[in-house]
């Protein structure tokens, strides 16, 4: 009858410490803590730490998460994860939902609705991001990483290379990599790299 805590963050710059703290503040003495650094797009079964936790779970153990989206990428994934854990005889607690028996018919209904809403919110975020990028592109804004070289520097590199200055010496002179210099002096290479 152990208490397992599970957290998930999307990037290595983030930490799941706040999720653990939230679980402990809710009164759960976490005996085993597992946290993945993985995109929310990854299914629960594809997460290393979630799989490691699942392998340790025994009947009557409790898994506590702060929010529903920690359990899966979309509504079907969350429902499958809950069903799998319930099949092991494990109680699942989602702090966001309060004290709700997720294995009961009412719990399953609430879970399905909330998971569907969470999935819709994720889809809307993607849709808004794509619309914003399209608008920025239409307004002529340059997307992506800024160029390391100015137009004048690019011209100077091309002229120096035409006078037989080596790629390595140009890279040192302008403080960029050899591949950056190659991209400037070989337009076909830049075009083929962009299409990859």
Active-site annotation, residues: 10
Helix (H, G, I), strand (E, B) or coil at 100: coil
Q: What residues have CB less than 8 Å from 105, skipping those under 6 apart?
A: none
**Residue 149 CB-density burial (10 A; 0-12 exposed, 13-18 middle, 19+ buried):** middle
- A 10 A CB-CB count for 92 gives 23
Q: Say if CB 40 and CB 122 are below 8 A apart.
A: yes
């Amino acid at each position: 009858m152990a208490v397992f805590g599970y957290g998930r963050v999307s990037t290595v710059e983030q930490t799941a410490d706040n999720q653990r703290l939230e679980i402990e503040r809710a009164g759960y003495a976490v005996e085993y803590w597992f946290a993945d650094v993985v995109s929310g797009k990854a299914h629960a079964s594809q997460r290393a730490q979630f799989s490691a936790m699942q392998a340790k779970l025994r009947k009557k153990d409790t898994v506590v998460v702060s929010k529903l989206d920690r359990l899966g990428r979309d509504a079907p994934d969350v429902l499958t994860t809950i069903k799998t854990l319930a099949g092991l005889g494990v109680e699942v607690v989602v702090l966001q939902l309060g004290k709700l028996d997720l294995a009961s018919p009412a719990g399953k209904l609430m879970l399905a609705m909330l998971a569907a809403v969470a999935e819709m919110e994720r889809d809307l975020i993607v849709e808004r991001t794509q619309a914003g990028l399209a608008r920025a592109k239409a307004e002529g804004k340059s997307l992506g990483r800024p160029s390391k070289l100015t137009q004048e520097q690019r011209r100077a590199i091309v002229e120096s290379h035409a006078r037989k200055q080596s790629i390595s010496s140009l890279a040192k002179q302008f403080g960029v990599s050899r591949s950056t210099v190659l991209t400037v002096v070989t337009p076909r290479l830049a075009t083929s790299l962009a299409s990859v």
